[in-house]
Amino acid sequence: MPPACVSAPPEWIAPAPSTATARRVTGLRRLGKRIVFGLEGDLWLVLHLMVAGRLHWRAPSAAIPKMQGLAAFDFDAGSLVLTEAGTKRRAGLWLVRGEAALAALDPGGLELEGASLEAFSRALLAERHTLKRALTDARFVSGIGGAFADEILHRARLSPLQQNTNLAPEEVERLFEAARAVLGEWTARRIAETGEGFPEKVTASHPDMAVHGRHGRPCRVCGAPVQRIVYADRETNYCPGCQTGGRILADRSLSRLLKDAFPRTLEDL
């Protein structure tokens, strides 16, 4: 016997994309790493760019690029075009109605701006993880990606693979201060670089970053060569001189390949 059909209540059904047509934008906010456009009629358009998604401001009624184009949001003054580089489509776009539906998309992580040290400590230690994982898990701390996690951990002089539950209280405080400082400095810098224009060339890396994207190059603080750990398509950059006491952290694939030849310390390099 076929399973019975269960009808979902109307509030569970997402509005059709056409529902957003000719709606005035009433607000703009951030939900973790998601950009939220408020529309008339209690509608919310939620956009997650992920790694390769980008927004571009174009002339009114601009065409959506064939290869990388995903969507376009047309306004009287111009079109906001969404593109995503590469073949993996990870960017997400949701249209929901009501604050409750919007809240359901919130991973629930702590917003660092205005947070206390105590609140940060609770979020950081909610589950046992490495520091890199704990900082980038949006359920615990909101809005920190891999690049800025690398920068924060370098500023705090902590290993990305250190377990969060092994931190001393002063290390938690140092990490908290580093996180707020790094995010604040880079937010101000990005705003200054953009000026009055549209931020067309924002990427996860920047030539002035301390360690992220600088594998093999000298650390700006101690001069040691910046190292990396690669797992799947994610990369962690760190300085063995500043963060690990001179130890080279094992990269799963490379250390297995090299075995005894894998360098364990800066001297081995």
Question: What's the 3-state SS for 183-243?
Answer: HHHHHHHHHHHHCCCCCCCCCCCCCCCCCCCCCCCECCCCCCECEEEEECCEEEEECHHHH
Count of alpha carbons within 13 angstroms of residue 117, beta-carbon side: 10
Q: What is the token pair recorded at 39?
A: 């529309």
- Residues 95, 172 share a domain: no
CA 111 – CA 75 distance, rounded (Å): 31
Q: Of 103, 133, 164, which closes a domain?
A: 103
Counted domains in the chain: 2
CA 27 – CA 205 distance, rounded (Å): 29
- Residues 242, 162 share a domain: yes
- Residues 254, 124 share a domain: yes
Other C-beta atoms closer than 10 Å to the C-beta of 36 total: 19
- According to DSSP, the residues that pair with 35 across neighbouring strands are 30, 47
Interaxial angle between packed helices 169-194 and 146-156, expressed in degrees from 0 to 180 and rounded to the nearest 10: 130
User: The domain spanning residue 136 has which CATH number?
Assistant: 1.10.8.50
**What pLDDT, in 10s, does the model give residues 149-206?**
999 999 999 999 999 999 999 999 999 999 999 999 999 998 998 888 888 877 778 8
Q: What is the pTM of this model?
A: 0.84
Strands 79-84 and 69-74: antiparallel
| pLDDT reported for residue 62 | 93
Q: Chain centroid to CA 229: how far?
A: 18
- Residues 91, 145 share a domain: no
- Residues 139, 254 share a domain: yes
CA 122 – CA 133 distance, rounded (Å): 15
Question: Cα Rg for the chain, rounded, in angstroms?
Answer: 22
| pLDDT reported for residue 196 | 86
**Which of these, 150, 120, 164, 177, lies nearest to 242 by C-alpha position?**
150
**What pLDDT, in 10s, does the model give residues 15-68?**
998 899 899 999 999 998 999 999 999 999 999 999 889 999 999 999 999 989
Scanning the structure block, which residue is given the tokens 């891999």? 146
Other C-beta atoms closer than 10 Å to the C-beta of 148 total: 19
- Residues 248, 126 share a domain: yes
Q: Is 4 part of any domain?
A: no
- Residues 140, 94 share a domain: no
SS3 (DSSP) at 26? strand
**What pLDDT, in 10s, does the model give residues 81-110?**
999 988 888 899 999 999 999 999 999 999
| pLDDT reported for residue 51 | 85
**pLDDT over 90 percentage in the chain:** 68
Scanning the structure block, which residue is given the tokens 């184009």? 69
Q: Is 2 part of any domain?
A: no
User: The domain spanning residue 91 has which CATH number?
Assistant: 3.20.190.10
- Residues 246, 215 share a domain: yes
Give me the domain span that covers residue 254.
Answer: 117-201+209-261
- Residues 121, 46 share a domain: no
Q: Of 43, 74, 103, which closes a domain?
A: 103
Average of per-residue pLDDT across 210-220: 94
